[in-house]
Chain A
Amino acid sequence: EDQVTQSPEALRLQEGESSSLNCSYTVSGLRGLFWYRQDPGKGPEFLFTLYSAGEEKEKERLKATLTKKESFLHITAPKPEDSATYLCAAAGNRDDKIIFGKGTRLHILP
């Protein structure tokens, strides 16, 4: 069964303290690995799509990387406005579903 697991569940960092969020996935034939940001009371906002192991994408203070089993979202020198829940999702070739993890709640302290 396809599965996405995110860790940690929650993370508190000081402003400027870099860290990484983990997403472990098990899907049959990965056709896309997705990262989203979700603010309270809002729908998920698209950040990145990764398609193959070794691929990396960057946007401002965020960088997403992909291996055959995991993806990491690296946050460099975060600011309080980066506080949100970060969701990871994976799509496999077996079916049309896109499976989400439970998310990592990130809180950046000023």
Chain B
Amino acid sequence: GAGVSQTPSNKVTEKGKYVELRCDPISGHTALYWYRQSLGQGPEFLIYFQGTGAADDSGLPNDRFFAVRPEGSVSTLKIQRTERGDSAVYLCASSLDRRNTIYFGEGSWLTVV
């Protein structure tokens, strides 16, 4: 595709529920990043994929968060037992490889009520 695509654009869920957020990177981009951004803050690193493997998941806040990229293209960020503190914008970005500029999608706005 022309740019990074993220779905859903908005998600409201109840505390304790399971949520999946999807990212479709720019075609041909092997590197994929997930970030989380709270109001008034800069994007906070969560996880980096090179191809199918999670090369760096050190930013995932706890074991309720998990991400996959089974075929090296689309990625899914999964959040179990959501908490109100998980409410934020979840941004996905991709690049040709780790040495190149990353390009962001529009984000998925998650609200946990």
Contacts and interface: CB of A to CB of B under 8 A. Distances in A.
Q: Are these two chains actual partners, yes or no?
A: yes
Interface of A: 4, 6, 31-32, 34, 36, 42-46, 49, 87, 89, 91, 95-103
A99 to B, nearest CB: 7
B62 interface: no
Interface of B: 4, 33, 35, 40-45, 48, 50, 55-56, 58-59, 91, 98-99, 101-107
Given A31-B99, A44-B91, A95-B56, A100 B44 contact: yes
Contact of A43 (B41, B44, B48, B91): B91
A28 B82 CA distance: 35
The 4 closest A-B pairs by CB, nearest first: A100-B42, A43-B104, A43-B106, A96-B48
B40 A102 contact: yes
B105 A43 contact: yes
Given A87-B42, A102-B42, A103-B42, A96 B101 contact: no
Contact of B50 (A32, A44, A96): A96
19 contacts: A4-B42, A6-B42, A31-B99, A42-B107, A43-B4, A43-B104, A43-B107, A44-B91, A44-B104, A46-B101, A96-B55, A96-B56, A96-B98, A97-B59, A98-B45, A100-B35, A100-B45, A102-B40, A102-B41
Contacts of A97: 45, 48, 56, 58-59
A25 B28 CA distance: 30
Nearest to B49: A96
Contacts of A45: 104
